[in-house]
Amino acid sequence: MSHLMNTYARLPVTFSHGEGSRITDIHGKTYLDALSGIAVNTLGHNHSVLVKAIAEQAGRMLHVSNLYGIREQEQLADRLCALSGMSEAFFCNSGCEANEAAIKLARFYGHQQGIDSPAIIVMEKAFHGRTLATLSATGNRKAQAGFEPLVSGFVRVPYNDLAAIRAVAEHNKSVVAVMLEMVQGEGGINIASDEFQRGLRQLCDEQGWLLMCDEVQCGIGRTGKWFGFQHAGIVPDVMTLAKGLGSGVPIGACVTAGKAAGLFKPGNHGSTFGGNPLACTAALTTLATIEQDGLMARAEAVGSAIRQGMKEALANVSGVVDIRGKGLMIGIELDRPCGELVAKGLDAGLLINVTAEKVVRLLPALVMTDAEAKELVERLSALIRAFLTA
Ligand SMILES: *Cc1c(COP(=O)(O)O)cnc(C)c1O
């Protein structure tokens, strides 16, 4: 009997090592990895530059505590702010922690304006994490069930519906922020339109609200730009990062600008592990490699090739509702629940995911080659075709 807490319905496979977009299990079978540990392994497996940088950092020091100056952390904050046009970064270890920091920051901001019970507008189908506050912000009743009382102070609206948010602004004077994903990942690869993002930016400015972008899944080059909001040409007041930032070494960040910057003072927030030299080195190396190797352009090109290839391969198959995405965040929505495709993929040597019951989700590493993308299209379209015509 396993002594692991039963929090995941794990697939019957255990891996031993990987290389790029290939990963091998303990029995020697090799798989094409189109999931990257859920958008984490930005540089794929065993990237030589990352491995070397981490090993060298480990040889210098792993951890010192935020009670002291950490050069790698300062460099990473500089880098993230330069890339985003923002001004300050707080480092933690995961996406939910980054969002916790953002939620605390929004409340803190509200209290400074004399709002005793600040509220944050969040979206239907949102995913922000599993801690109590981020679970409360998440738009998934199933994930919340059994954990009530939830954290109060969230107002939910439909995604991409600016009018609904304007309506909240009319009657709710406690709102201090809007939090959303620019591309919803767990919710089924739903894309915030550019008009919606720009409208939100304007509304937040009018109302004095913080615009808080959860870029935990869509950030770090995956959509073809460093951050999802850059497609719309806006800059948020707060963004959160995690998953792809350290290419597999855990790190999260809450980055602020404008009226969200300069709010926290010593004692308001913290983290023991957050931003340690090892994690920051992994993140700095990830960012440098994305830039040097042109991986954002690759994400854009390979992503559209996969979407186009899937559209062509499944053109005459009924049951395919939509094939959508941005860069290497791709969803193939079917007309029926398709969770069983994950196990079928595994049998066929393909790592894929299904989210929101009916959406096959692909999150390949930014280093996926054209040949691997072609192979992915061929093998996955065959799987989906067989599933839908069975
Ligand atoms: C995965 C995810 C989170 C939570 O990240 P953890 O590191 O699992 O806490 C938050 N927001 C989004 C958009 C995510 O995809």
Distance from the CA of 309 to the center of ligand 1, in angstroms?
Answer: 29
The helix/strand/coil state of 185 is coil
Q: How many angstroms is it from 27 CA to the middle of ligand 1?
A: 31
Q: What pLDDT is recorded for position 254?
A: 98
For residues 55-84, one letter each, b for 16 or more C-beta atoms within 10 angstroms of the residue's C-beta and e for the rest, the string is eebeeeeeeeebeeebebbeebbebbbebb
CATH ID of 15-46+294-389, from 3.30.2320.80, 3.90.1150.10, 3.30.390.50, 3.10.129.10: 3.90.1150.10
Q: What is the pLDDT of residue 28?
A: 98
Confidence of residue 318 (pLDDT cuts 50, 70, 90): very high
| Atom nearest to 95 CA in ligand 1 | 5
| % of the chain exceeding 70 in pLDDT | 100
Mutate to test the pocket of ligand 1, among 100, 243, 361 (most ligand atoms within 8 A of CB): 243
Cβ neighbors of 332 (< 8 A, separation 6 or more) are: 310, 314, 320, 322, 323, 359, 360, 362, 380, 384
Contact between 230 and 239 under an 8 Å Cβ cutoff? The reply is no
Q: Residues 58-87: what's their mean pLDDT?
A: 98
* Statement: 49-292 belongs to CATH 2.40.30.10: no
Other CB atoms within a 10 A radius of the CB of residue 364 amount to 29
- pLDDT tier at 83, thresholds 50, 70, 90: very high
The verdict on pTM exceeding 0.85 is: yes
Closest CA to ligand 1's atom 5: 95
User: With 80 as the cut, is the pLDDT of residue 303 above it?
Assistant: yes
- Please provide the size of the chain in residues: 390
DSSP for 100-130, please give it: HHHHHHHHHHHHHTT-SS-EEEEETT----S
Q: Which protein residue has the closest C-alpha to ligand 1 atom 10?
A: 128
- Is pLDDT at 322 greater than 80 in this prediction? yes
Q: Which atom of ligand 1 is nearest to the CA of 134?
A: 10
Q: Which residue has the tokens 């999802």?
A: 228
Domain ranges for the chain, please list them.
Answer: 15-46+294-389, 49-292
pLDDT at 390 over 90: no
Question: Mean pLDDT across the stretch 183-195?
Answer: 98
Span from the CA of 216 to the centroid of ligand 1 (angstroms): 6
For residue 286, count other CB atoms closer than 10 A to its CB: 29
pLDDT of 21-48, one tens digit each? 999 999 999 999 999 999 999 999 999 9
Q: What's the DSSP call for residue 273?
A: S
Mean pLDDT, residues 43-70 taken together: 98
Predicted pLDDT at 231: 98
- Residues within a 6 A CB radius of ligand 1: 94-96, 99, 127-129, 181, 185-186, 214, 216-217, 242-243
- Say which amino acid occupies 76: L
Residue to probe by mutation, ligand 1, list 213, 217, 239, 240, most atoms within 8 Å of CB: 217
Q: How far is ligand 1, taken at its centre, from the CA of residue 329, in Å?
A: 15
Q: What is the pLDDT of residue 201?
A: 98
100-141 confidence digits (pLDDT tens): 999 999 999 999 999 999 999 999 999 999 999 999 999 999
- Any residues with CB less than 8 A from the CB of 219 and at least 6 apart, and which? 226, 227, 228, 239, 241, 243, 244, 245
Predicted local confidence at residue 218, as pLDDT: 98
Q: Given phi > 0 = left and psi -120 to 50 = alpha, else beta, which region is 189?
A: left
Q: What is the helix (H) or strand (E) element at residue 25, kind and residue range?
A: strand 22-25
Q: Within a 10 A sphere around the Cβ of 10, how many other Cβ atoms?
A: 10
Compute, in angstroms, the gap from residue 213 CA to the centroid of ligand 1.
12
**8-state DSSP, 272:** S
Q: What is the DSSP string of 214-265?
A: E-TTTTTTTTSSSSGGGGTT---SEEEE-GGGGTTS--EEEEE-GGGTT---
Distance 217 CA to ligand 1 centre (A): 7
Look at residue 1 and tell me whether its pLDDT is greater than 90.
no
Looking from the CA of residue 131, the nearest atom of ligand 1 is 9
State in Å: Cα 256 to ligand 1 middle: 18
Q: Which atom of ligand 1 is nearest to the CA of 97?
A: 9
142: its two tokens: 């199933």
Distance in Å, CA 81 to ligand 1 centroid: 21
Ligand 1 pocket check: which of 8, 91, 93, 96 to mutate, most ligand atoms within 8 Å of Cβ? 96
Q: How far is the CA of 156 from the centre of ligand 1 (A)?
A: 18
